[in-house]
A and B are shown apart, each in its own frame.
Chain A
Amino acid sequence: MNHITASFSDPVHSAQQSFRTLLTAIAEPGTIHGLDQGMQFAPLGASLTAATLTLCDNTTSVYLSHALNQESVRANLVFHCGCTLVAEPYLADFALLTLAEFTNMREFKIGDEAQPQLNCTFFVQVDTFGQGTHLHLQGPGIQTTRQLAIAKLTDAQVAMLQVNHQQFPLGYDTFFFSKTQVCALARSTQVDKEAVCTSQ
Chain B
Amino acid sequence: MNTEDRQAWLSTLAHSQPQQLAQYWQQLNLTTEYEVLRQPESGLAQVRGRMGGSGNAFNIGDATMTRAVIRLPSGEMGVGYVLGRDHDHCLRIALLDALLQTQHHDNIQQAVIKPLASARQTNLAQARARTQATKVDFFTLVRGESE
Contacts and interface: CB of A to CB of B under 8 A. Distances in A.
Q: Do A and B come from the same complex? A: yes
Interface string A26-37: 000000000000
Nearest to A76: B37
Contact of B75 (A1, A11, A80): A1
A4 interface: yes
B2 to A, nearest CB: 16
Contacts of A2: 75
A65 B77 CA distance: 28
A6 interface: yes
A1 B77 contact: yes
B71 interface: yes
Contacts of B38: 7, 79-80
Contacts of A7: 37-38
B77 A6 contact: no
B35 interface: yes
Nearest to B74: A2
A11 B37 CA distance: 12
B37 A4 contact: yes
B41 interface: yes
B71 A11 contact: no
Interface string B28-56: 00000001111101000000000000000
A79 B68 CA distance: 12
B108 to A, nearest CB: 20
A1 to B, nearest CB: 6
A6 B69 CA distance: 10
Contact of A11 (B35, B39, B69, B77): B39
A11 B36 contact: no
Contacts of A5: 37
Contacts of A11: 39, 41
18 contacts: A1-B75, A1-B77, A2-B75, A4-B37, A4-B71, A4-B77, A5-B37, A6-B35, A6-B36, A6-B37, A7-B37, A7-B38, A11-B39, A11-B41, A79-B37, A79-B38, A79-B69, A80-B38
Interface of A: 1-2, 4-7, 11, 79-80
**Shortest 7 CB-CB distances between A and B: which pairs?**
A2-B75, A6-B37, A1-B77, A4-B37, A6-B35, A11-B39, A7-B38
